[in-house]
Amino acid sequence: MIPPSSMPIPYWFLREDVTINTFTEKAESGTGAPELDASTVYTAKGCLQQNTSSEGMLYQRETGNELFTLFLAPTTTAGASLAGLLGKTNQYVINSVTYRAGGSAMDPCLNGVVYQVSVYRET
């Protein structure tokens, strides 16, 4: 049995409002790739940290991706749990900028205090 964590949720660190758009996959329409239907929208507190500078600058391209790490509180601002809602097809909107998930979320401390998601923004 794992004892409950005494680590508090770091709300002083999670200063940004994050809108989480979840999607569900629907049947393919012949394009070869699954299509996504907009699902539910949630709001949570988070902190966005940049990992890299633009690929455009690094590789002398006009477009590229900027990589970020997004830390999220374990619950929405309404109190619902985010466990199981942070999938690899989600979009996250912070300060009117849309970021796409680069994979599923992980719990870096394994105690349900904060979630970590790799996200990117196309430039």
Q: Residue 103 contacts by C-beta under 8 Å, 6 or more apart in sequence?
A: 88, 117, 118
Nearest alpha carbon to residue 113 among 88, 68, 81: 81
Give the pLDDT of residue 58. Answer: 60
Give the pLDDT of residue 56. Answer: 53
| Spans of the chain below 50 pLDDT | none
Give the pLDDT of residue 119. Answer: 94
Q: Residue 52 contacts by C-beta under 8 Å, 6 or more apart in sequence?
A: 58, 66, 67
Given the candidates 2.40.10, 3.30.1330, 3.30.70, 2.30.30, the CATH classification of the domain at 16-122 is 2.40.10
Q: Are 105 and 46 in contact (CB under 8 A)?
A: no
